[in-house]
Amino acid sequence: MSAIFIAIVAFGLFGAAVFISGFIVAVREAVRERRDGAPEGEWVDKGRYGWSAFFAVFASAVVIALAGVNPLWIYAGPLLAIVTATGVGIAFFVGRDKGVAAPSLERP
């Protein structure tokens, strides 16, 4: 086994652990909120995710282009996927700390 294979597997296991633990936390919170029975509040997400989405698309395009130039760049694809999954797992943890505004009694 090559060193890059071992590194990708190690990073992949770490990313999977972060994603799965964040997903479990998010599911537990969703079940808890569903059982709460209180009216759902108006949640306002003030995060700025446009730049991170732009970077992800740009990085993917660059890796695809570079894979055509040098086969060594083919290893960057799995690393980008692992970073993305880890970021989503972290977002599950960050999302539970977001507050809500006053409960909304009207449903649209």
Residue 47 inside a domain? The answer is no
Q: Residue 38 pLDDT > 60, yes or no?
A: yes
Q: Residue 66 pLDDT > 90, yes or no?
A: yes
Residue 107 inside a domain? The answer is no
Round to whole Å and give the CA distance between 80 and 70: 17
Q: Residue 90 pLDDT > 60, yes or no?
A: yes
Is the dihedral angle over the CA atoms 98, 99, 101, 107 positive or is it negative?
A: positive
Total domains in the fold of the chain? 1
Does an H or E element contain 70, and which?
none
Structure tokens at 38: 């209180």
| Letter string b/e over residues 45-66, b meaning 16 or more CB atoms within 10 A of that residue's CB | eeeeeeeeeeeeeeeeeebeee
- Residue 10: which domain range? 3-37+54-95
Residue 53: pLDDT band with limits 50, 70, 90: confident
**Could you report the per-residue pLDDT of 5-37, keeping only the tens digit for each?**
899 999 999 999 999 999 999 899 888 888 887
**Full-model pTM:** 0.70
Cα-to-chain-centroid distance, residue 91: 5
